[in-house]
Amino acid sequence: MLTGGNVADCTAGAALLGRLPECEILHGDKGYDANAICLQVEERGAMPNIPPKANRKWKNCFSPFLYRNRNAIERMFCRLKDFRRVATRYDRSAVNFLAAVCIAATVSYWL
């Protein structure tokens, strides 16, 4: 799902969670720290492990130990962003951008 650069992460979070497979713990970054997203994760039978934003009055339960495993995902995105075309999103259409991401992933992880 591709959104504009000025759209917050949590606005697309509800649509992404609809496609979530069965899991016990869902790791997310601070952009997904919203009450609606946490409730939707809990309704699906998973525990949200999302670090709270600094401006939150009530901090939710968060385990930094479990959150350490999320760095593999961050490293994958950083590796894709090594390709200038992917990082700056030169392509105007979503189809061309997806093709550039697929080529970058193939070069990064297969070759």
Contact indicator for 60, 38 with CB cutoff of 8 Å: yes
Q: Could you give the 3-state DSSP secondary structure of residue 12? A: helix
pLDDT tens-digit map of 25-66: 888 888 788 888 888 888 888 888 888 888 887 777 888 888
Q: Is the pLDDT of residue 10 over 70?
A: yes
Token digits of residue 32:
């997904």
Please state the domain extents for the chain.
1-68, 81-111
49 to each of 26, 100, 107, how far by Cα in Å? 6, 31, 32
What pLDDT, on the 0 to 100 scale, is given for residue 111? 64
Position 16, amino acid: L
Contacts of 24 (CB under 8 A, 6+ apart): 46, 47
